[in-house]
Structure 1
Amino acid sequence: MRIMDGHCDALTKLYVNPKLEFGREEQELDVSYPRLKHAGVKVQCFAIYLSDSIQQPTFEHILQMVDLFYRQIGRHPGMHVIQTTEDWHLVEASERIGAILTLEGLDALAGNMMHVRILQQLGVRSIGLTWNYANWAADGVMEPRKGGFTRKGKQMLKDLETMGIIVDVSHLSTTAFWEMVELYNKPFIASHSNAQKICPHPRNLSDEQIKAIIQCKGTIGITFVPYFVDSANLTVPISALLKHIDHVCSLGGEGQLGFGSDFDGIEQWIKGLRHVGQYENIIEALCKNYRESQVEAFLYGNWRNFMLTSLPK
């Protein structure tokens, strides 16, 4: 079965440790080319995320990660960078794996729309507005004041809508989420978030938020972060992940549900999902609980439908 994964942080690991190579089966990389190939992943999103080790992030840092993406991933003979729907179809007609470049957090853009336009030209196709805390545009979900968008952030949101860059609300504060629902008129995604009803972590989505994403025909990437799946147990089995899938489906989200593992952005793992090469274990669990057509949609089809209507032609 084909797979699309909506979020990983392999770029950050490659940036922090220049000795790592995407093309090798590195033990330190959850997501590498050999592991993607083994799993049958057809499309992988790679996030630009500037870690806390960079105390004053700048646009230069983002450009360094864009350069790294094209050197390590874009130039790999088994990969093809997806910027348009035409690229998507080219990947599907080949043996290569598609790579989509995304940005997690607007912090280093410093409110400069020129930077956003440059990133669009360089292939960034989705932008997560915040990480956990506040930036110049909006508050993140862990920001104590629990605020929404700034005036400049609201303008940025309208600009992103006009540009056709996909907006990602994972990490966004609840207040900002609902402001966005009022301001933004296109489908949006939560690339790596689960259901708060099943696991009451602030990074997860409430039923009302899930319904809003379903209503706008967006996509929710169920994530493999153990404490977003089950915060009550140290060892989290794959079966616990299925509870989130069941719940989103019960709210009417069967056609808006995919996966966004957050591999390489985590230091704890679900049992049997230690890296992307172990997707076969979740496929096995899914096939025991859902129809084949449902499993194919969760793994690939729903993301595919969203991307082919959201990416530029």
Structure 2
Amino acid sequence: METPQTVPVFDGHNDVLSRLWRSGGPDAASRFIRGEDAGHIDLPRAKAGGLAGGLCAVYVPSERVLDADGNWPTPSRSEALDVTTAMAGLLARIERESQGGLKICRSAADIRTAMDTGAFASVLHIEGAEAIGVDLDLLYLLYNAGLRTLGPVWSRPNVFAFGVPFRFPSGPDIGPGLTDAGKALVRACNDLGILVDLSHLNDAGFWDVAEISDAPLVASHSNVHSICPHSRNVTDKQLDAIAETGGLVGINFGVLFLDPQGNKDKAMDLSNLVRHVDYIVDRAGIDHVALGSDFDGTTIPDALRDASDLPKLIAALREAGYDGEALDKITHLNWIRVLERTWGG
């Protein structure tokens, strides 16, 4: 009988680069490679839990001081440039020092090869494009460095769009849509084959991307707004549009985006997470749901201490009635299909 450990997971979002960068020190790459007690992901725990790879986010933190409207302040471009290049460089160092343990993937074929050979299939992702100027020159440089997915915003405004603030209960219809620079960014991403991530965009920005983009619509780490009415979760109308384009929603493990009352309940049962999967499957179909854990970037249930506990989630999904074919789609095949269609080959 197939065991949960045999199901590989390709995950739509993690913040391990942010965690390693924040902790500092010249040994950040080696700590990821050899393993440590901190955080949710490193190579040993990934192997133990079947985490075969995922989108590794570059995120520039905001100062922990909210503005008058309760929003996070946007970092300057110079600050964002320093942090973005540092984290992208850190990922490159990990690849070099891991001696085959991690591979930066630029194509779906790269992901399949890495998974087949046991390397961690890492995709460079930017969560908030503050480092990129309106001339977009840095976008092309980062593409050559391996950038293949990009969220124009985190949950704060920048020159490209308006990031949806963290609010509960609230819909995502907060603020204006894409700027002219943001529309140009989406078109450039389409031309290059960079996936545009919708997870932190507000409602107006979502529909602007839907109108402009010719690629599948993807919310890499969001949940169901009809279950948990958090501003960061996708509405039924958004979910329908995502499905119509062949896109997907990556289920976020964050308790604040799972709990119907918006509680920070770390003791919640994994059935709460399965409920969000069920909803998307029932409304949109099995091809349009995947995983977007937000490991190392949010508070997750105690039942999923870190990446090594992923077999518990596989077991919960299996118990809920998902067979081997469905589990393969949820855990990795849907992501690879959407990335391949977006990237081309």
**TM-score, reference length from structure 2:** 0.86
Deviations 1:3-58 (A, max 9, x none): 11110000001111124421132221211001111011222211000112595323
Find the partner of 1:156 among 185, 191, 194: 185
Aligned to 1:269: 300
Q: AA paired with 1:176?
A: G
Matching residue of 1:298: 330
Give yes or no for the alignment of 1:109 onto 2:132. Answer: yes
Give the CA deviation at 1:131.
0.5
Q: Which aligned pairs between 1:1-313 and structure 2 lie closer than 5 A?
A: 1-19=7-25, 20=28, 21-53=31-63, 55-56=75-76, 57-73=79-95, 75-77=97-99, 78-142=101-165, 146-232=175-261, 233=263, 234=265, 235-266=267-298, 268-289=299-320, 290-313=322-345
Distance in 2 separating the partners of 1:154 and 1:41: 34
Comparing 141-150 with 168-177, which one deviates more in the overlay?
Answer: 141-150
SS at match of 1:47: strand
Do 2:174 and 2:203's aligned partners in 1 also have CA atoms closer than 8 Å? no
- Higher mean displacement: 9-18 or 67-76: 67-76
Q: CA RMSD in A?
A: 1.8
Return the letter of the residue paired with 2:10: M
**Further displaced range: 254-263 or 177-186:** 177-186
Q: CA 1:181/1:76 → structure 2, altered by over 3 Å: closer, same or farther? A: same
Residues 11 and 53 of structure 2 are in contact (CA less than 8 Å); yes or no, is this contact kept in structure 1?
yes
Pick closer, same or farther for the CA change 1:277–1:70 going to 2, 3 Å: same
- Unaligned 5+ segments in structure 2 are 1-6, 64-73, 167-172
Report deviation, 1:145: 5.5
Q: Confirm or deny: 8 A CA contact 1:45 1:101 kept in the other structure.
A: yes
Shift of 1:74: 5.0
Greater shift in the superposed pair: 144-153 or 122-131: 144-153
Q: Are the equivalent residues in 1 in contact too, given 2:125–2:147 (CA < 8 A)?
A: yes
User: Structure 2 counterpart of 1:239, which letter?
Assistant: S
For residues 228-276 of structure 1, give each alpha carbon's deviation from its aligned partner in whole angstroms, at most 9, with x where no partner exists: 000524232210011111110111231011101001111x221311211
- Identity over the aligned pairs, expressed in percent? 29
With structure 1 as the length reference, what TM-score do the two structures score? 0.94
Identify which range, 28-37 or 232-241, moves more after superposition: 232-241
Count of residues in correspondence between the two structures = 312
Contact 2:195–2:339 (8 Å) recurs in 1: no
Residues 144-182 of structure 1: CA deviation (Å, up to 9, x unaligned): 951101111111111111111110000101011111111
Report the AA paired with residue 95 of structure 1.
G
- Residue 278 of structure 1 aligns with an amino acid whose one-letter code is D
Q: Partner amino acid for 2:143?
A: Q
Match of 2:68? none
- Tell me if the contact between 2:94 and 2:102 (Cα under 8 Å) persists in the aligned partners: no
Structure 2 letter corresponding to 1:283: I
Aligned to 2:3: none
